[in-house]
């Protein structure tokens, strides 16, 4: 299973060296990767449908309870098949959609990386591992959304998506750490067995909020939804893959996976129902005020995600069954509509639904796919969309409390989604073909083939729901801790309330479709109230934050090293002084200190004279020489206190530093007075205060009892384990060899950078 996850990453790495090969027609070969993975996961259907679970575990950081644990059950199998199956069709579609694009190989690399990250996410049984793959999906989606990097709007959309989902990633990490601490494990399977203890924990609400933060940002729930419409700047294969079947469903997957751990609690269920209902209605209404096909599909996607959150919040067997079915429904029809929109844009160079008409005459297969997807989104029999709509109504009717409110909200949402599906899947193909589109060419089979396959699958699964009932849908419900054994998928449920709600949805939605047409007038109406939208409000806070950051930078990051040092010292003086004032008892027994000798008095006096000379001299060379005197005085102090190694090190470094200073100062202009007496007095007070704080701190440390355990360990084992008689050297080279190696590496990198700057020869036009 680990190889299956890493395959996408390995292919991305391979493209770095063989990218030219995949830029042309051979690029379609890359579709073999998701196809092979799709076949790999298909073979597990019999075992999973029989109630089995496939577990693979690989040791990673066992001391922290972090391992590469992967579990394939009904829930992860459904998502894995969607990721690889739709991924295969998107790879094929991309070969034609981005044909001859100079960065086609790069696009395949990003797409493969994203596919691998999504597989790792849905298969992970360890919370920390899940977080790692979660962040990899955000990073790879950033590259995909911003693929057209020459377009400022694409770059902005990519950054916005990364910022919102990245914030959710931090929330997930915090939630995982707290949950692992409370539950005693990072294994999701083990946490399921501790759900009672977790629910009784005082940290339960905090954990739930953190998990909500991750899921709501990733799955574009209100008020974090606005990043998704902006992400439509990405090429259509990205919109299809990320925003219908994979990335936006990662948050849904997280909620479903966490339901057995955190679900069946009032806070969990109520929050999901409220947030989901707000999101689904809000986004569904927005579809009426959009004329761009991708914009309509984006908001209808947000609304569909809201429906899924709403169903997960209900938490019943019927609701979870409806959610499982609707995941399949939405993936099939929304991926189809995105692919159809991409074909229209590719062939006509337009996505404006107000001018697109009659395209069935020039692209009939595309029109068929769009029509089938539209009726599936509308929930018209015999599509699987009808099954999903019926199950949604059925579970909502069983809600305790105020079912009429929830029925009204879900009914309004379904009606508006029917309207959106018809506008996106039917409107561009009916009516008279405009003259401007008469010369539109019929797309090749690589373009219209994938949407046909997906749309036909929606019909097949609707007519024969048994194909997916036992193999995919019921195992999903079982993975969430419910038993859907008595539930069956079928087109006909008899004459009941659910049927009449479906009929009302179809009739009212169809009337609405013929009554309300997308127009610029509707777009202007919603633009007038754009200032109160979550995006505008958050953008306002973002602007204020930028202004504050600029002010902060001008004050504290103004380019003067002296200012940086002063700021750090003031902070340390304030913090350390406050702690010492409240905790220090100043019980130092000075009789335990060694006596002060005349040699020490002389050396310290010389040291102080050198300090004053550095401060007040007007000669750079004299200042450098005085600094050398200070260094030699410190060397003598080390010698007095039996530290010859430190003295030699100090002597070597100090001598080298003085030489370097002299060489550098030789090239500088004559001495300039850059500070007045007030500045020097301020700096002097600051230096004396910091020195006093350090002195008091050292005295406090000396007054504390000393634990010699570590020192004795090093002294006893330096020669036995490392065969060295110099304990300090052994510690640096052997016991802490990795630290020393990294420090050497940092110094080497810095030296290379300095050498590069010294050798840099800029043209006069590039110099500043």
Is residue 105 very low, low, confident or very high in pLDDT (cuts 50, 70, 90)?
confident
pLDDT in tens, 155-201: 888 898 898 999 999 999 999 999 999 988 889 988 998 888 999 99
Q: Stretch 450-469: mean pLDDT, rounded?
A: 92
Can you tell me which residue has the tokens 């699958």?
457
pLDDT of residue 671: 60
Percent of all residues in the chain with a pLDDT value above 70, rounded to a whole number? 96
Among 202, 317, 307, 204, CA closest to 258: 204
Whether the pLDDT of residue 94 is over 60: the answer is: yes
More confident residue, 466 or 590: 466
DSSP 492: -
Helices (H), 124-151: 127-145
Helices (H), 19-124: 32-42, 45-49, 74-97, 104-123
176 close to 130: Cβ distance less than 8 angstroms: yes
Which residues, 6 or more positions from 326, have their beta carbon under 8 angstroms from its beta carbon?
A: 304, 307, 308, 311, 388, 391, 392
pLDDT in tens, 353-378: 989 988 998 899 999 999 999 999 99
Whether the pLDDT of residue 659 is over 60: the answer is: yes
Q: Stretch 72-101: mean pLDDT, rounded?
A: 91
Whether the pLDDT of residue 137 is over 60: the answer is: yes
pLDDT of residue 557: 76
- CA atoms within a 13 Å half-sphere pointing along the CA-CB vector of 35: 9
Whether the pLDDT of residue 697 is over 60: the answer is: yes
pLDDT of residue 695: 86
Q: Stretch 468-477: mean pLDDT, rounded?
A: 89
How many residues can be counted in the chain? 768
Which residues, 6 or more positions from 634, have their beta carbon under 8 angstroms from its beta carbon?
A: 607, 650, 654
pLDDT in tens, 391-443: 999 999 888 777 788 999 999 999 999 999 999 999 999 988 888 888 888 88
Cα–Cα distance for residue pair 419/421, rounded to 1 Å? 6
Q: Return mean pLDDT, the chain.
A: 87
318 close to 394: Cβ distance less than 8 angstroms: yes
pLDDT in tens, 302-345: 999 999 999 999 988 989 999 999 999 999 999 999 999 999 99
Is residue 276 very low, low, confident or very high in pLDDT (cuts 50, 70, 90)?
very high
3-state secondary structure 299-328: HHHHHHHHHHHHHHHHCCHHHHHHHHHHHH
DSSP 536: H
pLDDT of residue 707: 78
Q: Stretch 6-19: mean pLDDT, rounded?
A: 86
Q: For residue 258, what are its two tokens?
A: 């966490």
3-state secondary structure 383-452: CHHHHHHHHHHHHHHCCCCCHHHHHHHHHHHHHHHHHHHHHHHCHHHCCCCCHHHCCCCCCCHHHHHHHH
Rounded to 5°, angle at Cα 670 from 669 and 675: 105
pLDDT of residue 674: 64
pLDDT of residue 540: 81
Q: Is the dihedral of CA 552, 553, 558, 560 positive or negative?
A: positive
pLDDT of residue 72: 93
Rounded to 5°, angle at Cα 406 from 400 and 411: 140
Is residue 741 very low, low, confident or very high in pLDDT (cuts 50, 70, 90)?
confident
Q: Is the dihedral of CA 435, 436, 441, 443 positive or negative?
A: negative
pLDDT in tens, 604-657: 999 999 988 887 777 778 888 888 899 889 899 888 888 887 888 888 888 888
Whether the pLDDT of residue 77 is over 70: the answer is: yes
More confident residue, 174 or 18: 174
């Amino acid at each position: 299973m680990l190889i299956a996850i890493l395959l996408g990453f390995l292919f991305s790495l391979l493209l770095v060296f063989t990218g030219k090969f995949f830029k042309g027609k051979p690029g379609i070969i890359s579709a073999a990767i998701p196809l092979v993975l799709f076949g790999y996961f298909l073979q597990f259907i019999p075992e999973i449908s029989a109630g089995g679970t496939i577990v693979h575990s690989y040791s990673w950081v066992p001391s922290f309870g972090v391992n590469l644990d992967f579990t394939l059950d009904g829930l992860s199998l459904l998502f894995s098949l969607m990721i690889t199956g739709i991924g295969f069709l998107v790879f094929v579609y991309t070969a034609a959609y981005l044909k001859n694009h100079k960065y086609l190989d790069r696009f395949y690399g990003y797409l493969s990386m994203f596919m691998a990250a999504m597989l790792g996410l849905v298969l992970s049984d360890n919370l920390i591992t899940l977080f790692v793959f979660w962040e990899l999906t955000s990073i790879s989606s950033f590259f995909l959304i911003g693929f057209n990097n020459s377009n400022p709007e694409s770059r902005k959309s990519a950054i916005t998506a990364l910022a919102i989902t990245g914030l959710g990633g931090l929330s997930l990490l915090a939630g995982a750490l707290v949950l692992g601490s409370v539950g005693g494990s990072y294994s999701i399977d083990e946490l399921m067995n501790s759900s009672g203890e977790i629910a009784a924990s005082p940290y339960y609400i905090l954990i739930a909020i953190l998990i909500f933060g991750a899921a709501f940002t990733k799955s574009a729930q209100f008020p974090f939804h606005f990043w998704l419409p902006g992400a439509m700047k990405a090429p259509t294969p990205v919109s299809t893959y990320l925003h219908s079947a994979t990335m936006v469903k990662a948050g849904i997957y997280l909620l479903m996976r966490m339901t057995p751990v955190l679900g069946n609690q009032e806070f969990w269920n109520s929050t999901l129902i409220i947030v989901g209902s707000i999101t689904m209605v809000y986004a569904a209404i927005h579809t009426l005020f959009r004329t761009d096909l991708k914009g309509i599909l984006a908001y209808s996607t947000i609304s569909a995600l809201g429906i899924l959150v709403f169903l997960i919040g209900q938490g019943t067997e019927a609701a979870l069954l409806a959610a499982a079915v609707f995941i399949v429904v939405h993936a099939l029809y929304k991926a189809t509509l995105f692919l159809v929109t991409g074909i229209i844009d590719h062939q006509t160079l337009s996505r404006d639904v107000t001018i697109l008409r009659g395209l069935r005459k020039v692209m009939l297969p595309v029109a068929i796919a769009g029509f089938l997807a539209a009726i599936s989104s509308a929930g018209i029999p015999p599509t699987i969309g009808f099954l999903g709509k019926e199950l949604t109504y059925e579970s909502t009717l069983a809600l305790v409390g105020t079912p009429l409110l929830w029925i009204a909200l879900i009914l309004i949402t379904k009606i508006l989604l029917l309207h959106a599906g018809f506008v996106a899947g039917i409107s561009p193909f009916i009516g008279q073909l405009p003259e401007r589109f008469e010369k539109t060419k019929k797309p090749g089979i690589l373009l219209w083939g994938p949407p046909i396959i997906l749309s036909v699958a929606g019909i097949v699964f609707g007519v024969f729901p048994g194909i997916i009932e036992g193999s995919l849908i019921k195992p999903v419900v079982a993975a969430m801790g419910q038993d859907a054994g008595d539930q069956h998928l079928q087109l006909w449920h008899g004459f009941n309330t659910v049927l009449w709600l479906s009929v009302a949805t179809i009739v009212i939605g169809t009337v609405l479709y013929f009554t309300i047409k997308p127009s610029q007038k509707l777009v202007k109406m919603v633009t007038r109230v754009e200032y109160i939208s979550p995006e505008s409000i958050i953008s306002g806070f973002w602007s204020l934050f930028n202004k504050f950051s600029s002010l902060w930078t001008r004050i504290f990051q103004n380019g003067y090293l002296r200012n940086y040092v002063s700021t750090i010292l003031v902070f340390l003086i304030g913090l350390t002084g406050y702690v010492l004032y409240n905790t220090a008892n100043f019980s130092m027994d000075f009789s335990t200190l060694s006596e002060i000798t005349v040699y020490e008095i002389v050396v310290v006096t010389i040291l102080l004279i050198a300090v004053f000379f550095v401060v007040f001299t007007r000669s750079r060379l004299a200042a450098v020489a005085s600094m050398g005197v200070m260094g030699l005085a410190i060397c003598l102090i080390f010698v007095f206190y039996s530290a010859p190694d430190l003295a030699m090190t100090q002597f070597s470094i100090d001598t080298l530093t003085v030489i370097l200073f002299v060489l550098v100062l030789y090239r500088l202009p004559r001495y300039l007075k850059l500070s007045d007496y007030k500045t020097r007095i301020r700096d002097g007070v600051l230096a004396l205060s910091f020195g006093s704080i350090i002195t008091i701190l050292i005295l406090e440390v000396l007054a504390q009892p000393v634990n010699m355990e570590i020192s004795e360990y090093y002294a006893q084992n330096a020669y036995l384990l490392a065969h060295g008689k110099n304990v300090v050297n052994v510690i640096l080279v052997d016991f802490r060899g990795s630290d020393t190696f990294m420090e050497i590496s940092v110094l080497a990198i810095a030296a290379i950078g300095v050498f590069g700057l010294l050798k840099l020869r800029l043209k006069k036009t590039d110099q500043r």
